[in-house]
Amino acid sequence: MIAGADDGVASVMRFIEPKVVIHVGESVSFVNNGMGEPHTVTFGAEPANPFPPLGDPTNYTGGQLNSGILPPGVTFTVTFNKAGVYDYICALHDYFGMVGKVVVKD
């Protein structure tokens, strides 16, 4: 998944491939491929403060998970260990439509 792709001319406030289907135990990597905008990857309720990380991305089974601020060039990987549908947002740019979903199958 690429967050906020930026070609130096225009910034795209979207997750590229906003829906992904995986199986339990697999991981999804989110890459901030932008040139100047920070982003977050946030599952569950939007935190009051999106800056600090929250939760364990190596064993995600639902609830709150926040990457914290991801500067350009940084990757955030989440391993999903429970089947379900997990909606996520960029807590900084969700109002622009920067949202997505991970579908995890058994």
Phi-psi region of 92 (alpha: psi -120 to 50; beta: other; left: phi over 0): alpha
Which pLDDT score, from 0 to 100, does residue 4 have?
52
Residue 48 has pLDDT above 60, yes or no: yes
Q: Which SS3 state, helix, strand or coil, does residue 95 take?
A: helix
* Mean pLDDT across 51-58: 96
* Mean pLDDT across 70-83: 96
* Mean pLDDT across 33-60: 93
Across 9-13, 25-29, 34-38, 46-50, least confident range: 9-13
Which strand (E) or helix (H) includes residue 43? strand 42-43
Residues contacting residue 48 through CB under 8 Å, at least 6 positions apart: none
Strand partners, 86: 102
Which residue has better confidence, 27 or 36?
27
The architecture CATH gives domain 2-105? Sandwich (2.60)
With tokens 């991305």, the residue in question is: 57
pTM for this prediction: 0.89
